[in-house]
Structure 1
Amino acid sequence: MMIEKSDAALRRSRLLLHASEALSATSTTADVLVTAPALLRDTMGAMHAAVVPAGPPTGAASAVSEALTRTAIRDRRSQFYESAIDLTVEHPALAEDFTQLGWQAAVCAPLPGESGAATGALLLAWDEPRNFYVFDRAVVATLALYVGQALDRAVKHDARAAITEALQQAMISQLPHVDDYDVAAYYRAADAQRVGGDWYDVIPGPHDRLALVIGDVVGHDPAAAARMGQLRNMLRAYLVDRREPPSTLLRRLDAANHALGEPTMATAVVAFLDRAPQGGHRLRWSNAGHPPPVLIEPTGEVRSLTGNDTLLGARRNTPRHTYTAALPPGSTLLLHTDGLVETRKHSIDEGFARLHRRLRRHDAENPRDLLNHVAGEMACECSDDIAMLAIRVPHARASVDDAMLPLGIRRPVS
């Protein structure tokens, strides 16, 4: 007898350990609602197992589930039905439903919530009568506790995820429609449960000017996202209100950054893309410690647009410079955050080299496709947030007079 009790205790310990490990691996409510029933069918040999959250009934057996769950939650204790007779005596209106389901025994245990109120119930059913001994009742009570804790944790996880997603979506800029230029953006958070400090902006200006911004605030938490929002909004105001070079705008931004409390550490590029006085397009930019813009020429050549100053928030009144480059017709400009090129296995220089190799392999005619290709190839190697902005400069267009000239002849640009 002592040996049998010892064996039963060992089986119960192993069963509950397995259940604890399986449920601790769940994170979302959907995980719990899938994992727990499969676990219960396996450990208890039940023909039916379900976790029924408190609230309106759902599913094919909703009437039965709702009735049993309501009783267990109302009485605040597990309900054990050892035969079909027990089921029909307790719930006579559901006798036909029990017969159709083939249930000959069932148990419904309330799931204890953190606040003390039940968050739902554990429902198990068998296709033959069953005696629930002390061992069985103890196992059911413990399993209900484990599932209740997992469900409580998952509900909080889902709530945080929903808030994070809403906050992140609110902080992702919507791209404006701009004539001539083909613009695309990409954003990926390293972790769905956290908001990042990466941002980008595209702001149309007067005389066909396009203001381009990409930045990265140090940190990966709501505080970093809030600081990012402050910097981005201040810079937006300057871009709309001022007609100044990129370096001057970054100096203004950093002055405000230091004046309004503890300065935020961040990197950023502010660039103006417009038509050059002698024709074509030019880029003027200022870089505050950020990865350099990348130019992809129609020939497939890829090169970084160098020129870099100190990151924002490092020190007051740091000198900043504006750099200028001509953009060939049909070329594509790529701005990105360091999450695209930094990995734990490779240096930053190796990351830039890998990025350039991948850019040479892909057609840059469609910026959206280009970003998707690059993200698919580079993102799997990266563990940081990634933001990218790609802008394709239009191809040179012949004038009406030029179209009437012999093939291969074009008027010189004055």
Structure 2
Amino acid sequence: MHNPSLLPFLALISTALSTPFLSPRATCTVQSQNYEVYDDAPLINDALRTCGSGGTIRLPDNYSIRSALDLSPCQNCDIQLEGILLMSDDWNAWINKTAYISTVGAKGLTLRSLTGNGLIDGHSQGWFQRARYIPQYPDPREHMPSLVLLSSAQDIRISNLRLIDAPREFFRVDGGNQRVEFSDLTISVRDQWYQKVDTMWESSAFQLRNSSAVHLTRIAVDFRSNSRPFQADGGTGACVMLDWGLDDVSVTDISCHGTYYGVMLQFGGVDMDRCLGPAPEEAQISQNIVIKNYTANSTHNAGFLFHLQYGRPQVDNLTYDTVDFVGGAYLENSVNYEWPNYCRYTWQPQHWSGNYSNVWFRTLSGDLGVPNDKSPVFCKTYGCLNCWMGGACDFHFEGVPVYMPGRL
């Protein structure tokens, strides 16, 4: 016979056993060793291995990073940086490494600062001011790692951080990434010397290639520097370099100051400092790209710049919408002949034409320069938008004002 007084208790046990066990989200808080000569990277990597599967990794302190951080164990994890990641300035330790921070194969990774105090410091002012030269062959010291590399990653969100002084690019998104979001980022370099052959590719903010569904929102890039003579007050690296193999990319609410290249299509740009042979035909298309609410203040602000190995690039469904040209060249469409002297090519491209379809320029304002007899729009100082070498150019203009001197 059942005891009626036990029935509610037995029912509670039955309910508990039938409900799946829900484990709390694991949290790992990493404590710094508080001394720059000690390497905190192994501690952070251990935390990622422990809590990276669905957990939270908290980084509240200032950390000395003397070896690579591997974020690949992150599978639906949340990395919260509220202090500083200070990269080592021991250049010999980083030469020919792939990245300071790598996310190869990560899925569902969130890297953010809840307070807005999180800082990733590339610690490269000494690197910027090194002696520069152009030897017969590339100096291996030129090949410094990316600050943050995304490769074969999915569902990545990076937000609300400051990043300074990367020796090469800040973010390289390459190698089949899907669904990547960058938002509310401030990116800057300090005391970067301007020497065109070197600094035209150093310290780029974003290099995007061979990835889909990549979205940048509320990004501020400022590479200007006035503290020393002969510095790059408007001529270092790139703001957003859009290379081949891109599909579904948006760049919105972005400002670019003091970069050599602004937000531009640049096939071959990711490896523009390396000597490469001809690119395969399948590696010469990017499509479905929107650049909107863009404040442009670079040496070359917008348009297309294809490097020698890309003889027949294809761009489909590209829109520049609401762009304010503060300074520098307005629109560019050219082949880049400015390879370093040590690149000795034994081949020549078979084609010098680009194919453009459904390319729109909407609501352009600011310093649009002067008209050019080879272009339906305006040029300034460094080139024009025109259909060169027999290319197929389906360009459209809407809200582009009639030429007036100065700002509009």
Higher strand content, 1 or 2: 2
TM-score, with length taken from structure 2: 0.23
TM-score, with length taken from structure 1: 0.23
Which is greater in Rg?
A: 1
Higher helix content, 1 or 2: 1
